[in-house]
Structure 1
């Protein structure tokens, strides 16, 4: 896990979401570790790559990730 890049960790989240949230908690934990290691305060996701890219879907994702200790924002 220590050689995982931030982009790879985010890509793993996309894959997990597309696979009905399979191993999502594991991927969020890996993302959190990478962010801490790299000093990144917020993960930026592309709404077009999400299963539910509408406002409600994004808010649900932000809320879930916040509970796991990861701040999320979305690119334009």
Structure 2
């Protein structure tokens, strides 16, 4: 029960704590993500039509991280 309490605090799911408690899930995710990104970088993203793919991916990751930080700050200010 303490694992669930550590992962969810103030209604926020803590992904870092989840992966710390579930190391095999993290390893599985990385085992799928790393070859996929490598394959895209060696294949599809090499063409001129799809060369913007890594930029779009990076922008999405930055936006998600920013929204997560804003959400975290909002939950702290209301608590």
Which has the larger helix fraction? Answer: 2
Q: Which structure exhibits the higher relative contact order, with contacts defined as CA atoms closer than 8 Å and separated by 6 or more residues?
A: 1
Report the TM-score, using the length of structure 1 for normalisation. 0.28
Report the TM-score, using the length of structure 2 for normalisation. 0.27
Report which of the two structures shows the higher radius of gyration computed on alpha carbons.
2
